[in-house]
């Protein structure tokens, strides 16, 4: 693994399954073995926990045609060497080689205008269930920030997936939370290819905006369209656009961008 950022226990300490305090390291996968570990983590989380239909991957691996074109961020637990978190990142250059972005299977990105040609796409966010306490996500974001700085990229695009296992109650809550900003004049808009009819659901039922989506909004990301329906993952996917220049000053400073 090519290390990007290392955290000591004094900076990011997370309880492992045995409640020991451990450090983390984030970097880029450098070989097929590391990518397979990432794909196995993705399979365990997406299929095992969330019931996603991942084709005929009976070998316990989540893979698709975009994986070979992506950079794969990975977080390892230092004392066990386990892979406990991952993002995959598709740069504009690699998107051209891949024939487009994965997001274009769900959205028409034409509404982004010239931004579309300079997007860095992030996706397949995945964190081991024992490590969903914030630290691993911050390490992944630190790794993503390094890629953005090194490539001098401005715009990041991806989806915040909301499970539909509660019959869409949470998706309706999210839409009610962000709808005014999405429909505001001047906001870039993308169109879902298979729109999830979120307005038909009862958004008053008890539900919480998922922590990951809250985190994106705190970073300064914007929901830039109505959600798409992903039947394989059983999710409503909200399109998210983050422009580095519009990131909150607190996070710009934390991740080492000029303020």
* Model pLDDT for residues 203-230, shown as the tens digit of each residue: 666 788 888 899 899 999 999 999 999 9
Average pLDDT over residues 68-94: 93
* Full set of structural domains in the chain with CATH: 2-254 (3.40.630.30)
| Burial of residue 191, with CB atoms counted within 10 A of its CB: 0-12 exposed, 13-18 middle, 19 or more buried | middle
Backbone angles phi, psi at 186, to 5 degrees: 90, -10
224 near 239, Cβ under 8 Å? Answer: yes
Report the share of the chain in percent with pLDDT over 70: 87
Q: 70: phi > 0 → left, psi -120 to 50 → alpha, else beta; which?
A: beta
Residue 10 has pLDDT above 60, yes or no: no
Contacts of 30 (CB under 8 A, 6+ apart): 1, 2
User: Residue 26's beta-bridge partner residues?
Assistant: 5, 75
What DSSP state is assigned to residue 48? I
Q: How far apart are CA 226 and CA 212, in angstroms?
A: 18
Residue 61 has pLDDT above 70, yes or no: yes
Q: How far apart are CA 182 and CA 226, in angstroms?
A: 8
**How far lies 158's CA from each of 26, 81, 188, 190, 258, in Å?**
20, 28, 14, 12, 23
What is the chain's mean pLDDT, rounded? 86
Average pLDDT over residues 183-198: 88
Backbone angles phi, psi at 90, to 5 degrees: -115, 115
Q: Which residue has the higher pLDDT, 243 or 51?
A: 243
Average pLDDT over residues 179-192: 86
Average pLDDT over residues 132-161: 91
| Burial of residue 175, with CB atoms counted within 10 A of its CB: 0-12 exposed, 13-18 middle, 19 or more buried | buried
Residue 9 has pLDDT above 50, yes or no: no
The predicted pLDDT at position 56 comes to 62
Q: Which of 161, 180, 159, 158 is nearest to 170 (CA)?
A: 161
CB neighbours of residue 49 within 10 Å: 11
Q: How far apart are CA 6 and CA 172, in angstroms?
A: 38
CB neighbours of residue 186 within 10 Å: 5
The predicted pLDDT at position 221 comes to 94
Pairing of strands 155-163, 228-230: unpaired
The predicted pLDDT at position 186 comes to 76
Average pLDDT over residues 116-136: 90
**How far lies 221's CA from each of 41, 61, 240, in Å?**
26, 30, 6
Average pLDDT over residues 119-124: 95
């Amino acid at each position: 693994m090519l290390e990007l950022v290392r955290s000591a226990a004094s900076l990011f300490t997370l309880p492992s399954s045995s409640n020991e305090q451990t450090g983390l390291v984030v970097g880029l996968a450098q070989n097929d073995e590391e990518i397979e570990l990432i794909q196995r983590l993705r399979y365990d989380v997406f299929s095992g926990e969330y019931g996603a239909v991942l084709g005929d991957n009976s070998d316990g691996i989540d893979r698709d045609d975009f994986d070979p074109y992506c950079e794969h961020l990975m977080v390892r637990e230092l004392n066990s060497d386990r892979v406990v978190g991952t993002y995959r990142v598709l740069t504009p250059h690699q998107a051209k080689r891949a024939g487009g972005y994965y997001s274009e299977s769900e959205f028409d990105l034409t509404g982004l205008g010239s931004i579309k040609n300079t997007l860095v796409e992030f996706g397949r966010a995945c964190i081991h269930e024992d490590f969903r306490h914030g630290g691993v996500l911050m390490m992944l974001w630190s790794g993503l920030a390094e890629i953005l700085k090194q490539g001098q990229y401005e715009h990041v695009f991806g989806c915040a997936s909301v499970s539909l296992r509660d019959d869409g109650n949470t998706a309706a809550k999210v839409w009610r939370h962000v709808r005014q900003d999405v429909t505001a004049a001047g906001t870039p808009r993308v169109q879902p290819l298979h729109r999830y009819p979120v307005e038909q659901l009862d958004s008053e039922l008890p539900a919480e905006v998922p922590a990951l989506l809250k985190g994106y909004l705190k970073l300064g990301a914007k929901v830039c369209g109505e959600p798409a329906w992903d039947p394989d993952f059983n999710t409503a996917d909200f399109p998210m656009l983050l422009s580095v220049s519009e990131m909150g000053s607190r996070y710009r400073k934390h991740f080492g961008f000029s303020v």
